[in-house]
Amino acid sequence: MKEKNIVLFGPPGSGKGTQAERLKKILQWMHIDTGAIFRNNIQLKTPLGNLAKSYINKGNLVPDVITIGMIKAEVEKNKNVKGFIFDGFPRTVAQAKALDAFLQEKNMKINAMIALEVPEDILIKRILERGKISGRTDDQEESKIRNRFKEYHTKTSILKKYYQEKQKYYKIDGTATIEDITNFITNVVAHL
């Protein structure tokens, strides 16, 4: 099978991580979750974790140069996979352009961006609930959550247009059932 790669897109709490976990089992693809990689590095107190920590704790995006370097290293580390599920990346136009250029050098590309759409009041409730279980500090304070939405609206949401112009944009109602959303995505993937 030819290799395919997708981007899961949506604001914090829209269910990207939940879907990525399911998709990686169904499709046997590699899942790259930038937020989880950062959190892992923070826990291990690596230089990358130390760099990223203050941004994440405030709900700000980590600077592009750090994030792009990390993504390249992750793709390089995982050769011979059937496909990548990018979750939480790209989050800025600079990241999207860097990803396209980097993949092109490897004869790879993003085939689709799948957007999960959820109203903001539902997102806040979901994130606060997740914060009780995950212990994530950026999930526990409404001011930090609001700042993450602000980052999303100012820097990330514009990526919809970026992928729409390339005819790679697919959207799904993120309040549908987990199973229906997975079915929608696997159907999109099957037709790429």
What does the binding site for ligand AMP look like in residue numbers (CB under 6 A)? 12, 34-35, 38, 55-56, 59-62, 67, 88-89, 91, 95, 138, 148
Token couple for 141: 């304070």
Residue 46's contacts (CB-CB under 8 Å, 6 or more residues apart) are none
Shortest separation between residue 46's beta carbon and ligand AMP, angstroms: 15
Which residue of the chain is nearest ligand AMP when measured via CB?
35
With respect to ligand AMP, which residue has the nearer C-beta, 19 or 95?
95
Shortest separation between residue 37's beta carbon and ligand AMP, angstroms: 8
What angle, rounded to 10 degrees, do the helices at 47-58 and 64-77 form? 130
With respect to ligand AMP, which residue has the nearer C-beta, 9 or 38?
38
Dist CA 63 CA 91 (whole Å): 11
| Side-chain half-sphere CA neighbours of 106 within 13 A | 17
With respect to ligand AMP, which residue has the nearer C-beta, 94 or 183?
94
Shortest separation between residue 68's beta carbon and ligand AMP, angstroms: 9
Contact 52, 41 (CB under 8 A): yes
